[in-house]
Chains A and B, each alone.
Chain A
Amino acid sequence: MSQTVIEVSGLKKQYRSSVGRSRITALDGIDFSVREGELFGLLGPNGAGKTTAVKILLDLTRPTAGEARLNGLPAGHPESRRHVGYLPEGHKIPGYLTARQALGIFGKMSGMGDAAIKSRSLELLEKLRIAQWIDVRVKKYSKGMTQRLGIAIALLHSPHVLLLDEPTDGVDPVGRREIRDILRAEAAAHGTAILLNSHLLSEIELTCDHVAVLRSGKVAAAGSIEELTRRATQYKLVPAAPVDDALIGAFRESGAGVERVNGHMLLTVDDVSHLNALVDKLRASGGMLTELSPVRSTLEDVFVDLVRAVDPGGRSDGQASEGALL
């Protein structure tokens, strides 16, 4: 049984406005957890509280209420960060350092010895295809190269938990795939839990197993990508031969919605037994099917629907449950 390495419960954060005494709620009681080896995506529009949640985990900022734990220790305890790698959004690795020097300094700050830093640095820079730049100052790097170096710094001490804020920002498509592969390999080989904070929904969809969507400081939806993107009542049916109008009429009489699209049908049914009844009707009429699959939304569809679903008071609603859209 894999262990929970990130635990967030009832986390609230209010910022004081610089003008007056008003307070701005960044997080309004969020809960989520990440297990070792899990790739978890944190989604949300600008100002939803994603970065604040990560900053609380790293003790860069403190919660107003609630609790956050890393590796079983309260966030804020320096030892909770012993096995944590972090890539902040818009990170500034000092430009006067070379990659070798930057990795050396941050490796030492993570408690690594010189020999371990040297071998791991070379390994990571080769994987990230910037090994030939190891002795060039960071200020000469392109944005994508700086991002790769940031990932190398985050991965340097083989962390159990990786917190990544927009890790593929500025990286070309080939590089994105390579980074995705490296992250997946880390998770698989070392059981590294990865919390990915990104606006690139396709990136999250391709990388993560589970996601939580934040909206106005609350978790609006959480669950596996499959759960979130499945349209529970819509199925794609591809018949072996064209279905006649009489059968389609019978489907509609049963209460199903039927839409013909390029040789296949989109069936909207009440539930799974309703779907099976329609399949039975097709078979009884001598028809055969070559494909029957649930229709999925893209993560972007789900995200846009969630972000647009604001209650009349202008606030998001509800608490999330596993795999539920609220």
Chain B
Amino acid sequence: MKVLMANIEDVMREAAARWTLVAYFFLSTIFILIFASAINLDIVDGALAGAKLFGKQVEVSGSMSIEKLVMGFESGFSGILYVLCTFLAIFATAHLVPRMQEKGTIDLYLSRPVSRLKLILSRYLAGMILAGSNVLYLMLSIWLIVAWKTHVLHPRFLLGGVVILFLIASLLAFAFLIGVVTSSTAVSIMATVGIFLFGAMLAGHARIEAALSKEWEAAAIKGLYWIMPKTAEIGAAVVAYVGGPQMHNDFLKITPAPFVSTAISGFVCLALASWLFQRKEF
């Protein structure tokens, strides 16, 4: 426990000192403020009489209830937050392993009576706490602003944050793996952003496979699809989950498969990163 606490303290202090934490929350706050000032809803007797977005009138059908509007709005917004939170988390945590592995620093960590497995896992947890605190800040703030302006409390939006954190956990494991192998923050960021985009691209694997002339190429694309984190499917699942069955027919199509394969992908990356870190010579 002391090792974990020491690592959390180290990660947080570094994030604060290097302005990562400030930039992380500053960007999030700007996003929240823009969001808060952009929306103006006119509610009369519990029904939506009119809505303005960035000062422009939004056409609202007479039959739309305020609850449905909030649900739809939060659902769409959760998709934006999914990308924003994930990218911010990658930029804020990709340095954790490369920085620790620097010559002269790693010696100080490894000379303590702590196993390497415990060291890397506690650092991973510290990174997740840093990313999680930002996801919580963004989601909770947006949720409170919407609740303040509409008086509608829609808890599904907050649970969407848990799904976002799930993807961040998988990508952070990948960033750790790249960090252990290359000791480079830049490569860690590039590779993790790359895997996010590549994973999204592979959502259309069926069409790519159909376009390929050779069978082995199609098999390779299919294999890659199952290995990679399902960034597009999980993003769609966040939107559908926050919207709920009333808003999205896609809600009914959410299957556990993308979650299971993304979890396996993250677990394998973390296990591989831990194994390589234990074997690595400094």
Chain A positions within 8 Å of B, measured between CB atoms, are 55, 58-62, 78-82, 84-86, 88, 90-94, 96-97, 101, 104-106, 108-112, 137, 153, 163
Contact = CB atoms under 8 A, between A and B. Distances in A.
Contacts of A94: 10, 14, 105
B3 A59 contact: no
Given A61-B281, A62-B281, A105-B6, A90 B110 contact: no
Contacts, number: 87
Interface of B: 2-3, 5-6, 9-10, 13-14, 16-18, 102-115, 281-282
Interface centre among B6, B16, B102, B112 (most CB of A within 10 A): B112
B104 A90 contact: yes
Contacts of B281: 60-62
Given A58-B107, A88-B107, A105 B113 contact: no
A109 B112 contact: yes
Given A62-B281, A91-B104, A81 B6 contact: no
Given A61-B282, A86-B108, A105-B9, 19 more contacts: A58-B107, A58-B111, A60-B107, A60-B110, A60-B282, A86-B107, A88-B107, A91-B105, A92-B105, A93-B108, A96-B18, A97-B10, A101-B9, A105-B6, A106-B112, A108-B3, A109-B3, A109-B112, A110-B113
Contacts of A109: 2-3, 6, 109, 112, 114
Sort A-B residue pairs by CB-CB distance and give the 10 closest, nearest first: A96-B17, A92-B104, A86-B111, A88-B107, A108-B6, A109-B112, A82-B113, A61-B281, A108-B2, A92-B105
A92 B102 contact: yes
Contacts of B113: 78-82, 84, 110-111
A94 B113 CA distance: 19
B5 to A, nearest CB: 6
B108 A106 contact: yes
A145 to B, nearest CB: 16
